[in-house]
Every structure is written in structure tokens, then in C-alpha cells.
Structure 1
Amino acid sequence: MPDRRRFLQTAASAALLGSGLPAWSAAPATSMLTRSIPSSGATLPVIGLGTADTFNVPPGDAAAMAPLAQVLQTLMQAGGTLIDTAPSYGDAEAVTGALLARDPGLRARLFLATKISTRGHESAMRQVRQSQKDLGSDKLDLIQVHNLIDTRNQLALLRELKQQGVTRYIGITHYTDHAHDELTELVEREKPDFLQVNMSVGARNAEKRLLPACQANGVAVLINRPFQDGALFRQVKGVPLPALAADIDCTSWAQLFLKFIVGHPAVTAVIPATSKPANMADNARAGFGRQPDAAMRERIAALLA
């Protein structure tokens, strides 16, 4: 089985360079699947981009930033718009902003999500102002309380910022199963616009109570850690792609893992992180073609049981 580094390198190159169009301008041949944001009715393409670790490079390092520029270009050429970052991701937020600054018209085409990861009003506002500066945008699409840090106070602040027009949406995030009970209570009580949480074919705890609570309370869902930090790829290393993959138009394990997530009706979008353009092209293909129903999702999960 070809690994992620070798997957469809020719196709990825064509996606990046074959159009002959200026950077950022190529449109996808067909539309990526979108899902509605319950609180507004606006739609969001189901495959986005996370920046934790992968975009944490020196902002002035041209060699390090070159593949990241290609990752963003590949995302947009596929029809993706969502980029998720945070002040706590080292230089990732500044790098994202520096790449976006290369095209003045790019901001209007993207959905930028960031986070507050500190305690207290003044400290949080410093983070928000820094995020605005780093991302080159006074108005952000989504600001999230990160990892349940000072949640009550920061949610109150975010509601104020939403009223002021600083952010379009507010949310809450976490990345581990142990937070799911508290997140469920917050979803039911606070009804934020978004919840960002971990889920994968190998980590399904969110499906028990948390995702149903989001559906019942009109909360959009972003999924992080869809590959369990690479553990899923290690688990299937050397294993041929199963025949059932063709039934939902998958040509790689990455697409199968992502479609398993997108197939859940509560999920709005998934945000795999990568620094490799070929991987971004592979991930984006999960937003196209047939998606799994509940029965197919169980068949996929059984492959890793």
C-alpha cells in the first residue's frame, strides 16, 4: 500500500501547478460537500485544515513556509475554507497570517478560527488583539475557549465580542475523551455556536452523548485529531485498502478515516493538520463523492476493532 508521502504525488502536483492560474485562484472542478452551521444557516466545507505543530515554523524561514503555502493553496483549490489555529500553537498563527497576507483578497474567502487559552479578561483580550494582528483581520470567524480554560469567564467575554462584531461565532474546544462529560453539560447549558472535539474511527467516545447533545442543541461540530496523531496510519501500515472503500469513493486510508467522521450527521467539518501538500490533496478528496451511512461507518470501524 502506498504510504501518505507517496500518495498521488503527480495528482497533487497537478492540483498545485497544472492550472496555470495565479496562486490561490484555481477553483475546484466540483464542489466539496458542505454542512450547515445551525446557529446561522451558513455553510462550511467539510474538510478544513488544522495548524497545531505543522505550521509552527519560523515566520521568516522561506524554505519552511514554502510547503505550507502550497498546503493552503491545495485546500482552497479543493474548495476548503476553514483554517483552525491558536495563539498557543507557537508561531502557527503568525505563519498562517503571513501566508494569507500574500494575497489581499484571500481573507474574504476563508473561515478563520482561533482560540483563547488564558485566564482573566485582560489576558484574554491581549490574545484576541494579537490574533487579529497575526491573522491580519479585525474580524474573526470563530473564537473558541481552548481546552476549558476559565470557561465561564471567557465564554462571557466571547459573547461580548460577538455582539461587538469582533467574531461571527463562539465555541469551546478540547482534545481528549476525559473532557466529554463536561463538554456535554456546557453544550446543553451554554449552547455555543461551535464545539471542537476529538473523534476518530479509533476513538468514538464523543458519539455516545456529546455529539447527540450538539445535534439537539443546534451546535456545529469541528473534529480534531482525526488520525489520532498518526496512530491510525501506524495501525494499518502494510494493510491493503479494503474493498468497501470503493463503495464510498475512497482511494486511501486517510480518506476512509475522514469519511468515517464526516459520515456522522452531527459533524460540520474535520480539521486534519498537515504540512505536506500531497497529504492536503489526499485529505481534501474525502469531501467529495459518496459518504458512508450509519451501517457503512460500523463496517469501517470493524476494520480496526
Structure 2
Amino acid sequence: MKRRTFTQALLALGASSAFAKAKTISDAASKQMLANKIPSTGELIPVIGLGTNKNLNIDLSSKELPERLQLVKTFFDLGGEMLDSSPMYGSSEEVIGYCLEQLGYPKKLFSATKVWTRGKQAGIEQMQESLRLWRLKSFDLMQIHNLVDWKLHLKTLRQWKQVGLINYLGITTYAGREHQALIEIMKTEPLDFVQITYNIRDRKVEKYLLPLALDKGIAIIVNRPFKELFGYTKGKQLPSYATELGCNTWAQFYLKFAISHPAVTCAIPATSKIKHLKDNMAAGTGLLPDDKLRQEMINTCERYL
């Protein structure tokens, strides 16, 4: 059940709070991963994906490989779909390809990676290499990493999309200094996805970028949803309203905040530990906060941050 469905139901029933609705949800429904529509097509995608920057950047001969395989298996078992990677992430794409082959290529895979180089031919060759490493014939999403040579690569991505080598195209950034350039691109270029940093402490994108994504029908992927947060709340007790919302940990608290923004399609926290993965995935189930509760979450964190 999606957050907008909850909000409409609460208003129709005249419920006194979001928590009254929570009590009526069956255990099965409360554990089902929430999904959002990709604006450009209406395709549903789970709200929690998996980033692969450092956690899958290991050698195929590493003794840690079986643990990473189990990590990826658990991700799919818990309803995950989007694996997000990049040539920047060392051997991560090669490890993803190994894991996908070992798991029989899960049908629910949403494959997302990036082009991160300069020059048309270099970009084409890099994307072809990513296909080889993932052991796939096409990608769901190809993104231009950190706006590098974006004008040139965007032309190639449109061609790849036309012939079916990718289903969606997008652009990513993690740096606030690139936001204005990204906003101008979003205003003038047809994009399916934009990937940005957004969390309860770093909310700069709420002013212009997220509203623009809503207006233009661009899906938002949130990276680094935990950036510099855990140190502030370590050892601190969760507020009572958080547990009623279904948050048992600060990780779930932070993720529910990020994915509850109406412009956000999904978040891609990265982890190498299965217990943390399970924790993250649980944030994508049950209730999400409305605007009033989101402000209360901000108020709570501002007392710590």
C-alpha cells in the first residue's frame, strides 16, 4: 500500500492519526515492500534498492564473496529489485554479474548503472563493458555519472533507448555544487531518472530540485540517505511516535523520512552486512509519515544534529 493511498484512506475515515490506520493492517500487508510508480511509464519499483559502491567492491577470489552473494540473495528475497552500480565502483559490477548468474538472474531485477568517462566512443565502450560484467544483454537504467560529459552521452543514451539496450535514462550527482546545473538540465531535457543525495539533514534539494522533478515527471533515486547521521543519534532513544510508525532503528527512521517525500521514487542505501540490509528493507514496509509527521521528525533530529 502506497503512502498516498494511506493518506486518502485516513481522510475518508476521519481517523484521528496515522497510527489508528496502522492497527488495521494485516501482518502480511505490513511486511510487503512498498512500491512507487516510475513517472515516465507507470512501472512500479520498490522504494528500497541497494547501492553497491564499497560493499561489492571485492575481488572474485575473496573469501568474502559467499557473504556478498548471500547479501544479494537476501535483497531479492526481501522484495528488492534495483541494484545500482557504476564503473567508478571498482569491481562491483563484476561481482554483481557473478551474483546474478549464481542466483539464476532474478526476474525482479531492476539493473541500474552509469557511464562515467569522456568521449562518445569511450562512453559506448564503457557501457558495453558494463553489460559484459553484469552478464546482461540490456540495462533497465543507464545514468550519466556526476554530469560527466552529459550532453554527448545523453545523445548516445537516447539511441540506446530507441534500440532497446536500455529502458530508462538518467543523470546523477552527489555534490550540491552541481545542483543548479542539474536543475537546468531537468528543465530542458527529457529524463526518466535523476539520482541525488537527500536525507533528513541534507534537505537542500527540497527547495527547487524535488518540486521540479514532480512537475516534470522525473523519478528520483536517493543516494547517501544516511550521510553523516548515525554519529549524532548513536545511543539516543527513538521518539515514541517512531515505533508506532514502525521504526525500530534510526536507520529505518532516516529511510522512511527520505522515501516519504512525494517526489522520491526509491532510495539505495549500501551495506555489506545482512543484518543492516534487513533493517534497511524493513523501512520500506508499513506506514510512511505524512507532512505533519515529517516535520516532527525534522524537529527531533534538529535537537541532535
Please give the range of the TM-score, normalised by the shorter of the 2 chains.
0.7 to 0.9
Residue 6 of structure 2 corresponds to none
What is the deviation of 1:185? Answer: 1.1
The separation in 1 between residues aligned to 2:270 and 2:76, in whole angstroms, is: 15
Task: Judge conservation of contact 1:38–1:218 (CA < 8 Å) in 2.
Answer: yes
Moved over 3 A (4+): 27-30
The separation in 1 between residues aligned to 2:30 and 2:164, in whole angstroms, is: 34
Listed as ranges, the matches of 1:149-164 within 5 Å are 149-164=148-163
Amino acid at match of 2:268: I
SS in 1 for 2:73: helix
SS in 1 for 2:45: strand
What is the deviation of 1:256? Answer: 0.3
SS in 2 for 1:304: helix
The separation in 2 between residues aligned to 1:219 and 1:29, in whole angstroms, is: 28
Listed as ranges, the matches of 1:19-58 within 5 Å are 30-58=31-59
SS in 1 for 2:283: helix
Residue 165 of structure 1 corresponds to 164
Q: Deviations over 1:174-229 (max 9, x none)?
A: 0121211111111111120000000000100011100110000010010001000x
Identity of aligned residues (%): 39
The separation in 2 between residues aligned to 1:168 and 1:156, in whole angstroms, is: 15
Listed as ranges, the matches of 1:128-277 within 5 Å are 128-228=127-227, 231-277=228-274
What is the deviation of 1:29? Answer: 8.8
Residue 60 of structure 1 corresponds to 61
The separation in 1 between residues aligned to 2:40 and 2:81, in whole angstroms, is: 18
Amino acid at match of 1:240: Q
Q: TM (normalized to structure 2)?
A: 0.88
Structure 2 regions of 5+ residues with no counterpart?
A: 1-27
User: In the comparison of the two structures, how many residue pairs are matched?
Assistant: 275
Task: Judge conservation of contact 1:28–1:79 (CA < 8 Å) in 2.
Answer: no
What is the deviation of 1:304? Answer: 2.1
Task: Judge conservation of contact 2:32–2:286 (CA < 8 Å) in 1.
Answer: no
The separation in 1 between residues aligned to 2:120 and 2:218, in whole angstroms, is: 25
Task: Judge conservation of contact 1:180–1:210 (CA < 8 Å) in 2.
Answer: yes
Q: TM (normalized to structure 1)?
A: 0.88
Task: Judge conservation of contact 1:211–1:266 (CA < 8 Å) in 2.
Answer: yes
SS in 2 for 1:183: helix
The separation in 1 between residues aligned to 2:104 and 2:275, in whole angstroms, is: 26
SS in 1 for 2:264: coil
Structure 1 regions of 5+ residues with no counterpart?
A: 1-26
Task: Judge conservation of contact 1:191–1:218 (CA < 8 Å) in 2.
Answer: no
